[in-house]
Amino acid sequence: MAKKGLPIVISAPSGTGKGTVIPYVMKELENAVFSVSCTTREPRAGETDGKSYYFITRDEFEKKIAAGDMLEYNEYVGNLYGTPRKEVEEKLNSGTDVVFDVDVNGGMNVKSSLPNAVLIMLMPPDAKSLRDRLHSRGTDSEDVINKRLGMSLKEIEFFPRYEYFVVNEDGRAEEAAKKILGIIEAEKRKTVRFPDFIKEFKTYKY
C-alpha cells in the first residue's frame, strides 16, 4: 500500500501571526496542499473563492453536512466553517500532506476524524506580547481588544491537547515556519508510521 499523506493542523490564538507564518510553511513543504475550508460568511476584501475559502450558502453547507461531505465543521459568530471531506481524503490517500489552518475546535475535530494528524500550536512569546500585538493593529477599540484577548486565552487552554508548540517571536515568522517544518520532518520519522519496515527486513532472502 502506498504511503499516505500526513494531516498537519496549525492553530494559533488570535494575535499570534499565523497568517504570516503559514505561507512560509507552504512554500517550503514538498508534496503538500493547503486545505481550503468552506464558509457561509461573506468574503472580505482580497479574499478569493476557492483559495481563501469556498464561499457557499448556509443551505449548501447544511446539505453537505447531511450528505457526510464535511470532514469537520463548527459554527463561529453565526457562520459555519468546515473542511470538505472528499478533497482532503483524496490528497491524503495519494500520499500528499494536507495542512489545516483551523481554530482549536477545528483542530480537535480534525484529530478525531484523522487520528494520525499532527497538531501544532503557534504561540505568542508571552501574554504581554499578545496584548501588544492586538494593540499594534491600531484598528480595534480597547473593548474589542479585551474580547479578542479573552478569546485567545481560551484557545490557549487547548495547549495540552496539541502535541507541539512553536513560539512566533516578534518579526521572526520565517524562523517559526522553519521550526514547524522541522516538526513535520520529525513526525515522518516516527516508527509507528512505518508498520511494514521490519517486515521488509524479515522477508529479505539472504
Q: Rounded to the nearest 10 degrees, how much is the dihedral formed by the CA atoms of 14, 17, 22, 28?
A: -160
Q: Which of residues 171-190 bind a second copy (CB under 8 A)?
A: 179, 182-183, 185-187, 189-190
Alpha-carbon span 11 to 16, nearest angstrom:
10
Contact 53, 36 (CB under 8 A): yes
Residue closer to a second copy by CB (options 78, 160) is 160
Alpha-carbon span 206 to 188, nearest angstrom:
29
- 51 sits near a second copy (criterion: CB under 8 A): no
- 170 sits near a second copy (criterion: CB under 8 A): no
Q: Given the C-alpha cell 511494514, which residue does it identify?
A: 196
Query: Residue 120: phi, psi to the nearest 5?
Result: -120, 130
Among 25, 157, 174, 177, binds a second copy (CB under 8 A): 157
Among 99, 110, 123, 134, binds a second copy (CB under 8 A): 123
Q: Which stretch binds a second copy (CB under 8 A): 29-37, 39-47, 107-115, 196-204?
A: 196-204
**Minimal distance in Å, beta carbon 159 to a second copy?**
5
Among 69, 85, 165, 172, binds a second copy (CB under 8 A): 165
Contact 96, 33 (CB under 8 A): yes
**Minimal distance in Å, beta carbon 93 to a second copy?**
24
Among 128, 141, 142, 143, binds a second copy (CB under 8 A): 128
Residue closer to a second copy by CB (options 52, 116) is 116
Among 28, 34, 164, 175, binds a second copy (CB under 8 A): 164
Alpha-carbon span 166 to 175, nearest angstrom:
10
Q: Would you say how long the chain is, in residues? A: 206
Alpha-carbon span 183 to 202, nearest angstrom:
30
